[in-house]
Structure 1
Amino acid sequence: MTEIPTEGDQMGNRHRIMRVLRNRRVRRLQLAFLGSTLGDWAYATAIAVWAYEDGGAKAVGAYQAARFLTMTVAGPLGSVVADRMSRRAFMIISDLLRAGLITAAGLIVVTGGQSMAVYTLSILAAIVGAPFRAAEAGLLTELVDSPSELTTANALSSNIESVLIFVGPALAGVIIGVSGVEEVFWLNAGTYVWSTAMLLGVRVKRGETDRASADVEDEATRARFWAELSSGFGLIGRDRDLRSVGLLAGASGFAWGSMSVFLVLLAFDVLDSGPKGVGYLNSLLGAATVAGSLLILGRLSSSRLGQDLVLGVVFGWGLPLLAMAAFPTSVTAIVAIVVIGLCEPVGSLGIDTIPQRLTPPAMISRVYSAIDTCVVGPMAVGAFLAPTLVDWFGLRSAMAITGAIPLLVGLSRLPRMRNLDRRLTTPTEPQLLGDDAAAQAESTRGSTDDASPRDS
């Protein structure tokens, strides 16, 4: 990558954002991500509606369970492939395959074909798309010129995703109400075509695509696919900073999965508003998340990735759940959900950016996917256990137990995250991302040495 002048900490947030947006390659990558993510969230709503009409709540639950389980496996598998080839090409192939699969599913719906074929094609599309975000995270590090730009670009991605989490389902609801479920299928396929068109315009320098794995893995390891598959998890296990990020991500994922159940119970039992209340609470959560993303953009220059991650876990999940358990009123529930939405992007920025800053470039997609698995796995566990906890202990106690987990994990990781922030400050000398990441990992992190000074 090309060396650039030093960036001072006093650079204004607007200057940071505009600098990233002026980077044509990053801009096209963000637009590709926007299109793909919009389609994903709209389609998630449409397929759930279609599944409910096809087989009721059991069909929805079975499909979602199969989707999350396959994505948990496919994400790490696909990330190995993404790290072995051009990540741009990997993302384009993913988009084109998903466009074809979703188009085929839409044709089956229109013609009244077999329901199982629609479920199968939809799950295949989820499998193909599972490593897309990990590949995008890896490609992003090849397109920016400094740690500051990387943090800003991730903040923009987080902002886009937060908005689309709210806009995608809303758009799907409008289309379904006006035209029908199949129209959302066509929209989703179209967004993948859009994403492909944007990615075709991203030019990656030859030197940036030649990621020599020899810097971080020996020849024997590279030759074994399963060893490479586990290498992302292995690096997280050896690196105490990445391990802390994984624990914090897992705690938030567990709370998130449990909250998907608690929201329904809060709507019926606390707000006494029935199904409409579920939609109201989800919309409130989405709107608060958008506001939280804007908050992130307003404080990039003072962002403390590690401590903000702890803040997002403790204040975004632990304390709100404990507050609802202690004071189960409508006001408490609404305030707690707003706080969760505001804090979620604060923590997500650290989950997205810290692995990119700490991981050698040839392994970024695998480590990112492993961190993502640390979120999705506990999320499924939380959603599965929440009804049992409610049956055994009641809603208030179930929320208290769930809230205690992110609170305790967050507080236990705070000293390490403070230490990490001191070492993740923007370098005072010109420093390249990617080209010297392996050296930086060795000299500043001492990841695999348990006796490292960083453990003090």
Structure 2
Amino acid sequence: DYRRLWVGSLVSHIGSWMQLIGSGWLVLQLTNSPFWLGVEAFAAAAPILVLSLPAGVLADRVDRRRLLLIAQSCVGALALILAVLAGLGVVRLWHILLLTALTGTVMAFTMPAWQAMVPDLVGKERLMNAVGLNSAAYNGAAVVGPALAGLILGAFGVAVCFALNAASYLAVIVAVWLIRTDCTGADCGRNVTVVDSLREGLGFIGRRRLVFALFALAAVVSVTARPYLQLLPVFARDILAGGPRTYGALMAANGAGALAGSLLTAALHRVPRKGLLLLCSAAACCLALGGFALTTSRPLACALLVLVGGGATLYMGATNSVLQQLAPDDVRGRVMSVWSMIGAGVMPLGSLLLGTLASLTGRV
């Protein structure tokens, strides 16, 4: 079951990265403003920020497999709509922002269920390996997807990127459909209100100092260090004097580092001092990102992004696995919904802030 899901997610992630590259470049073409790149990222994140906690309650109460089937079908349909609009040449900025926000709404319910289902399929003893492999699929796609998108953008146009993303969701839908493991949430059947369920999950985080500290550090990193991806189209065009291929190369370099970081995460599952690993990887990411901000050389920019992607992924992957190991089965969905909220919801707040600063100062 897990093997099929991993292959399906790899294909889907490649499509998602292609759409991310295509939509970022399209927004820049339509607006010529880094501010709107931040707004697009915020449109994707705002629903996740608002809905992740109730989505975590749902993930603990229902069949996670069925929830994922519905969600992935909806996201694929939204990608197809965007492909049609772009193909007909009628796409406008508000179309992109609306469809991005709707996609974020669906993803708010997808991510906690996906995260919570992994231990159901592999068991907690193999959890860090599975987290590393999941991250490898995502970041392997981050190498292939941007590189393909850069070529397709120049040769066929942005609509093809969106259409291929829509088609890629079929792989994960089939993989989830074939799962036979019972993935029903451990909280299913309890006569407890949503508010009480939320209070129970947040209370667990508040009582466990280590869990709370991990979330707090992740929130700081997500706001200050991780939003650089949303500004890469501007960096590629204005600082490196490049086009779609330069943008794709930067994203692919980041993805290559992230892939290495995810494989390292899987290999280091027996490391005893994971706290030191978390701090060192976060520090390496921030130092490399500072160097990237100062360079005007394309090769050096790509090399530094390899280090940024590797450090960020190792940090996030190790934190993810530690949190899932610490969380009891009956609150795992709610705990991971907070993780989703921080990783995918809080980070674009930093993107919006940095996009605004870039527009006001004229510098990225």
Give the TM interval when normalised to the shorter protein: 0.7 to 0.9
1:368 aligns with 2:336: yes
Q: Deviations over 1:196-232 (max 9, x none)?
A: 1011111123xx6262468xxx85xx22x24434544
- How many residue pairs are counted as aligned between the two chains? 359
- When residues 333 and 181 of structure 1 are mapped into structure 2, their CA distance, relative to the original with a 3 A threshold, is closer
Q: Could you say which residue in structure 1 is the equivalent of 2:261?
A: 292
Secondary structure of the residue that 2:60 maps to in structure 1? helix
Is the 8 Å Cα contact of residues 253 and 377 (structure 1) preserved in structure 2? Answer: no
1:184 aligns with 2:153: no
- Rounded to whole Å, the distance in 2 between the matches of 1:204 and 1:242 is 29
For 1:42, which of 18, 21, 24 is the aligned residue? 18
Is the 8 Å Cα contact of residues 258 and 310 (structure 2) preserved in structure 1? Answer: yes
1:347 aligns with 2:315: yes
- Rounded to whole Å, the distance in 2 between the matches of 1:348 and 1:258 is 14
Larger CA deviation: 138-147 vs 47-56: 47-56
For 1:241, which of 210, 222, 232 is the aligned residue? 210
Larger CA deviation: 253-262 vs 363-372: 253-262
How far does residue 348 in structure 1 lie from its aligned partner after superposition? 1.9
- Rounded to whole Å, the distance in 2 between the matches of 1:104 and 1:385 is 29
Q: Could you say which residue in structure 2 is the equivalent of 1:73?
A: 50
- Rounded to whole Å, the distance in 2 between the matches of 1:182 and 1:267 is 21
> Kindly, what percent of the aligned residue pairs are identical?
26
- When residues 154 and 66 of structure 1 are mapped into structure 2, their CA distance, relative to the original with a 3 A threshold, is same
With normalisation by structure 2, the TM-score equals 0.83
Is the 8 Å Cα contact of residues 254 and 375 (structure 1) preserved in structure 2? Answer: no
Q: Could you say which residue in structure 2 is the equivalent of 1:145?
A: 123
Q: Deviations over 1:129-169 (max 9, x none)?
A: 2332321111111112342x111111111111111122222
Q: Could you say which residue in structure 2 is the equivalent of 1:33?
A: 9
For 2:347, which of 379, 382, 405 is the aligned residue? 379
Alignment of 1:122-271 (within 5 A): 122-147=100-125, 149-205=126-182, 209=184, 211-212=186-187, 219=191, 222-223=192-193, 225-229=194-198, 231-257=200-226, 259-260=228-229
Consecutive unaligned residues in structure 1, runs of 5 or more: 1-24, 399-456
RMSD value, Cα: 3.5
Pair member with larger Rg: 1
How far does residue 84 in structure 1 lie from its aligned partner after superposition? 1.5
How far does residue 100 in structure 1 lie from its aligned partner after superposition? 2.0
Secondary structure of the residue that 1:209 maps to in structure 2? coil
- Rounded to whole Å, the distance in 2 between the matches of 1:376 and 1:66 is 11
RCO comparison, higher one (Cα < 8 Å, 6+)? 2
Secondary structure of the residue that 1:84 maps to in structure 2? coil
Consecutive unaligned residues in structure 2, runs of 5 or more: none
- When residues 54 and 393 of structure 1 are mapped into structure 2, their CA distance, relative to the original with a 3 A threshold, is closer
With normalisation by structure 1, the TM-score equals 0.68
Q: Could you say which residue in structure 2 is the equivalent of 1:106?
A: 83
Secondary structure of the residue that 1:203 maps to in structure 2? coil
- When residues 231 and 333 of structure 1 are mapped into structure 2, their CA distance, relative to the original with a 3 A threshold, is farther
- When residues 26 and 384 of structure 1 are mapped into structure 2, their CA distance, relative to the original with a 3 A threshold, is same
How far does residue 332 in structure 1 lie from its aligned partner after superposition? 8.1
Q: Deviations over 1:113-134 (max 9, x none)?
A: 5634454233212211233232
